[in-house]
Amino acid sequence: MSRVAEKPQCSQEVLNALTNMANSRTVEVRMAERAKIVLMSVEGTADVDIAEKLGIRPNTVGMWRQRFIKRGLEGLRDLPRPGKKPTYDPVETRKSILEILETPPPVGQATWDGKSVANALNISDDKVWRVLRAEGICLQRQRSWRVSADVNFVAKAVDIIGLYLNPPQNAIVLSVDEKPSIQAIERPVGYVYTSNRKIVRGFKSAYKRNGALNLFAALEVATGHITTQITERKRRIEFLEFMDQLSNDYPAGQEIHVVMDNYCVHKRRDIWLGEHPNFSFHFTPTSASWLNMVEIWFGVMTRKALKGGNFASRSELAKAINDFISVYNSKAEPFVWRKREVKGSQLRNTIVNLCN
């Protein structure tokens, strides 16, 4: 008398989980197949018929049916496998990599890289990079900063950041600066198909200069709105003309605070300020242009409107700038001041100090 295969028993909740697994397009194929085996076994289908329908061997059906009966859904997963023993001790390898980064790099190199670390320790490149990624160490990425030597840095910085975060009631805060010598560069640009089957932007290395323009810009801190003036020169007279334009854009008597740097064209302003008593100038500390918020907008404009552009004349360059400004102002939003404090004491000469 032939033996009858034991029929799996399961709750409705487990049955629903098996159904979802069998019909899912995201789980592994092998897991979906095992779920189908169990579902058909629950229905009473013989192992031979299940094997024929799924294109597998009957003993495979019997194995997964028995595993489910003994361990439920967990039984459908592969059992742990010992695998190959680790080649390197993870603790000692990490320690060796971090320690060697504190030593002088190989002769002929300014800094360590993954390949040189692997060669020095006689381990694989992959192991080195796994450790570096786990520790968040980027050997080639760099970050620089400039520490202002202005003796009045704290007072000036507090004044400017206070205007950004808590401006006087009913006052307008403007961040003003100029982007000088924007060149109208003409050269073919487009897309190229590279040898590694990537499509990238391409441009010819040879180019023609068709003149340059200067851009004065004022960022209204509270709204993000930009007011600009394009000029061919950047003398004090052009700067004061731009300030006259700003004065005309706001109601007479409106209290306006202007943040700007100490560039030469911004100086000798006493006569103009005497004629416009509603304006107050606030100057950033020396070597601290990052305190001028309009610099953020200049970066956005450069990336979106200038980088990779092709301008046959200064008029084309001016049109590109004005078009960008028009679109930008239609959906302008204020920048959120998130500059973090930068100290010279943040510099560490050893990676171990940062990782431990």
Q: What is the CATH number of domain 153-330?
A: 3.30.420.10
Query: pLDDT higher for 331 or 5?
Result: 331
In angstroms, the CA 50 to CA 36 distance is 9
Q: Determine the pLDDT at residue 287.
A: 84
How remote is the C-alpha of 132 from its chain's centroid?
A: 20
- Beta strands 172-186 and 189-193: pairing type? unpaired
* Per-domain boundaries in the chain: 12-76, 90-135, 153-330
Closest to 86 in 3D by CA, of 130, 41, 24: 130
What is the model's pTM? 0.63
pLDDT at site 298: 93
- Residue 339: per-residue pLDDT: 66
For the ranges 56-60, 117-121, 288-292, the lowest mean pLDDT is seen at 288-292
pLDDT band, residue 2 (cuts 50/70/90): very low
d(CA 259, CA 341): 20
Look up residue 113 and give its amino acid. D
The string of pLDDT tens digits covering residues 257-284 is 999 988 777 777 788 888 889 999 999 8
Q: pLDDT at position 89, please?
A: 84
Q: For residues 223 and 174, is the Cβ–Cβ distance under 8 A?
A: no
* 193-218 pLDDT tens trace: 888 888 988 888 888 999 999 999 99
At residue 148, the pLDDT reads 80
Which has more pLDDT, 34 or 80?
34
- Contact indicator for 241, 193 with CB cutoff of 8 Å: no
Q: What is the pLDDT of residue 1?
A: 37
Which residues touch 221 (CB under 8 Å, ≥6 apart)? 163, 164, 167, 173, 174, 175, 293, 334, 335
Query: Is residue 355 very low, low, confident or very high in pLDDT (cuts 50, 70, 90)?
Result: low
117 close to 109: Cβ distance less than 8 angstroms? no
Band the pLDDT of 356: cuts 50, 70, 90: low
**pLDDT tens per residue, range 104-140:** 999 999 999 999 999 999 999 999 999 999 999 998 8
The rounded mean pLDDT for the chain is 87
Burial status of residue 64 (CB atoms within 10 A of its CB: 0-12, 13-18, 19 or more): buried
Position 290 confidence tier, pLDDT thresholds 50, 70, 90:
confident
Stretch 224-247: mean pLDDT: 90
Token pair of 80 as six digits: 């742990």
